[in-house]
Amino acid sequence: MTTTFVLIPGAACDSWHWHLLAAELRARGRAVVSVDLPCEDDAAGLEEYADAVVAAVAGRGRLTLVAHSFAGFTAPLVCARVPVDLLVLLAAMVPLPGEAPQEWWAATKHPDAQVRRAGRAAQRAGASAGAEGVPEAAVPGSAADPFFQDLPPDLAAEAAVRWRRQSETPAARPWPMAAWPPVDTQFLLCRQDRLFPAPFLRALAAERLGLVPDEMEGGHFPMLSRPIELADRLESYSATTAG
3-state secondary structure the chain: CCCEEEEECCCCCCHHHHHHHHHHHHHCCCEEEECCCCCCCCCCCHHHHHHHHHHHCCCCCCEEEEEEHHHHCCHHHHHCCCCCCEEEEECCCCCCCCCCHHHHHHHCCCCCHHHHHHHHHHHHHHHHCCCCCCCHHHCCCCCCCCCCCCCCHHHHHHHHHCCCCCCCHHHHCCCCCCCCCCCCEEEEEECCCCCCCHHHHHHHHHHHHCCCCEEECCCCCHHHHCHHHHHHHHHHHHHHHHC
In angstroms, rounded to a whole number, what is the distance separating the alpha carbons of residues 52 and 48?
Answer: 6
Per CATH, the number for 4-108+164-242 is 3.40.50.1820
pLDDT reported for residue 127: 39
State residue 126's pLDDT score.
46
pLDDT surpassing 60 at residue 135: no
Residue 100 has pLDDT above 50, yes or no: yes
* pLDDT given at position 122: 53
Averaged pLDDT of the chain: 90
Separation of alpha carbons 223 and 24, rounded Å: 10
Query: Residue 224 and residue 140: Cα distance in Å, rounded?
Result: 13
Res. 120: pLDDT tops 80: no
CB-CB contact of 174 with 100 (8 Å): yes
- pLDDT value at residue 115: 67
Whether the per-residue pLDDT at 129 is higher than 50: the answer is: no
At residue 1, the pLDDT reads 73
> Of residues 138 and 197, which shows the higher confidence score?
197
Per-residue pLDDT reduced to its tens digit, 33-77: 999 999 999 999 999 999 999 999 999 989 999 999 999 999 999
Band (pLDDT 50/70/90 cuts) for residue 243 is: low
**Which pLDDT band, with edges at 50, 70 and 90, does 121 fall under?**
low
**Half-sphere exposure of 127 toward its Cβ, with a 13 Å CA cutoff?**
3
Question: What is the arithmetic mean of pLDDT over 115-137?
Answer: 48
Question: Rounded distance, CA 170 to CA 73, Å?
Answer: 9
Pairing of the two strands 63-68 and 31-34: unpaired
226/154 Cα distance (integer angstroms): 16
Average pLDDT over residues 178-201: 97
pLDDT for res 111:
86
pTM of the model: 0.91
Q: What is the 3-class SS of 80-130, one letter each residue?
A: CCCCCCEEEEECCCCCCCCCCHHHHHHHCCCCCHHHHHHHHHHHHHHHHCC
- pLDDT of residue 133 exceeding 50: no
User: CB of 66 within 8 A of CB of 90?
Assistant: yes
pLDDT at 224: 98
Please name the residues in contact with 242: beta carbons below 8 A apart, sequence gap of 6 or more: 3, 62, 85
